[in-house]
């Protein structure tokens, strides 16, 4: 006797996926594609379009207290825990069209394919666009998924952007309710499984000729903000030995971070990708430098050890140069393993379509890592051209997207049949 999914397996529509990717890509700063940073007017407009698409699918649309946009299809047994899929629609400045966006569009395509086939899941199904997965003007990433897990603290909600607004105000702007945050937005047991599709952001799948990657674990990430405080002076009249050059001190710190990370690689990476210099004039000795150090590792102990060392090292450099430095941890997520049952569902779904697949860890952070704190979570990767990401050259083909979408939909159907 054939199983329920063998009788009727919904099929994704590659052209529809591509059309929606292209439409979402139009919500960008025209002089800096693709830029749709969190909390911006472009981001709000894109979410308005996404909400409309969800409504056209017959989904009930809502924005939760954490500012996450959610479309919901009822299930045949609507009291069962929810199956959910999604990612994020925001981008880094001058980023790509697929990072995050592909996961949201593919989740929406799963709902579309179910509707086309007249197939109603036993479980309710949600498409989620998480708020602010990327670093943004408030300095905290994965804002929406942190809110779901109850990880947002009062201190984080008070983080200020350069425009003077707080993260709490930013969440309210996006439709959330920061007054309700502090405890988890979603309770444990309410989501049966969360599945996220994402481009790999690396070259492993492309080089191997594989169709999809089943993620086994996601690295932990720690971000530390440093303020190096020297003294601004005239560049022509201040002798070298009398300077308190914040830029030189910051440079020494950054070189030291790199040296130490090289000693610990390949298990971890350390990056300084954001730096602001004051007063930022060619004829003035820099008086202040603010920068962010990001550390990534699959080991919690290694993250903690490197973070403590980095703060000590920065203090040592500042002391040697008669400057001050202030440091604070502004973001932290622990390494986390993906749920074995969800991994098996992805593998079985890929195998059923004869897709080439492999199991692999993720060196990038994702919303799925925070959802995994309260619900079984898994991820599937698709190849991206030359491993490029967070840049305009980021690309995944229509066929690659379709294979990933069919794998994700197949896993949803498998998990739906396992309804106990």
So what's the pLDDT on residue 18?
Answer: 98
In residues, how long is the chain?
Answer: 420
Helix (H) or strand (E) holding 83: strand 82-88
So what's the pLDDT on residue 146?
Answer: 96
pLDDT tens column, 243-268: 999 999 999 999 999 999 999 978 79
282 confidence band (pLDDT: 50, 70, 90): very high
- For the whole model, what pTM was predicted? 0.86
The answer on pLDDT for 1 being more than 70 is: no
The answer on pLDDT for 7 being more than 80 is: no
The answer on pLDDT for 306 being more than 90 is: yes
**Nearest Cα to Cα of residue 89 among 185, 10, 20:** 20
DSSP label of 239:
-
So what's the pLDDT on residue 409?
Answer: 98
Query: What is the Cα gyration radius of the chain?
Result: 23
> Who contacts 233 (Cβ-Cβ below 8 Å, separation ≥6)?
242, 243, 244, 284, 285, 287
pLDDT tens column, 88-129: 999 999 999 999 999 999 999 999 999 999 999 999 999 999
Count of CA atoms in the C-beta half-sphere (13 A) of 317: 26
331 confidence band (pLDDT: 50, 70, 90): confident
**Nearest Cα to Cα of residue 306 among 365, 366, 258:** 258
Please check whether the domain covering 221-333 is classified as CATH 3.30.70.360: yes
Residue-range domain boundaries for the chain:
4-218+336-417, 221-333
pLDDT tens column, 384-398: 999 999 999 999 999
Superfamily of domain covering 4-218+336-417: Zn peptidases (3.40.630.10)
Residue 367, SS3? helix
3-state secondary structure 118-176: CCCCCCCEEEEEECCCCCCCCCCCCHHHHHHHCCCCHHHHCCECCCCCEHHHHHHHCCC
The answer on pLDDT for 419 being more than 60 is: no
**What's the token pair of residue 177?**
């309710």
Spacing of C-alpha 408 from chain mean position? 18
Percentage of residues in the chain with pLDDT exceeding 70? 97
């Amino acid at each position: 006797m054939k199983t329920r999914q063998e009788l009727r397996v919904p099929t994704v529509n590659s052209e529809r996926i591509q059309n929606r990717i292209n439409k979402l890509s139009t919500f960008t700063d025209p002089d800096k594609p693709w830029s749709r940073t969190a909390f911006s007017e472009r981001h709000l407009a894109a979410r308005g379009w996404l909400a409309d698409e969800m409504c056209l699918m017959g989904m009930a649309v809502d924005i939760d207290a954490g500012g996450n946009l959610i479309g919901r299809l009822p299930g045949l047994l609507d009291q069962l825990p929810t199956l959910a899929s999604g990612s994020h629609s925001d981008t880094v400045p001058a980023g790509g069209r697929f990072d995050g966006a592909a996961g949201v569009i593919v989740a929406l395509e799963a709902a579309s394919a179910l509707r086309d086939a007249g197939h109603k899941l036993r479980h309710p199904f949600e498409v989620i666009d998480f708020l602010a997965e990327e670093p943004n003007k408030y300095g905290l990433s994965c804002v929406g998924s942190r809110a779901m897990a109850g990880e947002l603290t009062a201190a984080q909600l008070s983080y200020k952007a350069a425009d003077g607004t707080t993260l709490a105000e930013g969440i309210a702007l996006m439709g959330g309710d920061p007054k309700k945050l502090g405890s988890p937005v979603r309770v444990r047991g309410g989501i049966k499984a969360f599945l996220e599709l994402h481009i790999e952001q690396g070259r492993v799948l492309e080089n191997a000729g594989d169709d999809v990657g089943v993620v086994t674990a996601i690295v932990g990430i720690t971000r530390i903000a440093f303020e190096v405080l020297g003294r601004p002076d005239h560049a022509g009249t201040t002798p070298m030995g009398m300077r308190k050059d914040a830029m030189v001190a910051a440079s020494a710190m950054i070189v030291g971070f790199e040296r130490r990370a090289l000693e610990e690689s390949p298990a971890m990476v350390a990056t300084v990708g954001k730096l602001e210099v004051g007063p930022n004039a060619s004829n003035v000795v820099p008086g202040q430098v603010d920068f962010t150090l990001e550390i990534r590792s699959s080991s919690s102990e290694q993250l903690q050890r490197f973070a403590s060392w980095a703060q000590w090292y920065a203090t040592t450099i500042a002391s040697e140069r008669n400057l001050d430095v202030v440091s604070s941890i502004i973001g932290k997520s622990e390494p986390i393993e993906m749920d074995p049952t969800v991994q098996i569902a992805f593998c079985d779904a890929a195998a059923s379509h004869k897709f080439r697949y492999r199991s692999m860890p993720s060196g990038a952070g994702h919303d799925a890592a925070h959802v995994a704190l309260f619900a079984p979570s898994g991820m599937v990767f698709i190849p991206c051209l030359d491993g490029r990401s967070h840049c305009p050259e980021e690309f995944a083909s229509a066929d690659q997207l379709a294979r990933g979408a069919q794998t994700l939909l197949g896993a949803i159907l498998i998990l739906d049949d396992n309804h106990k």
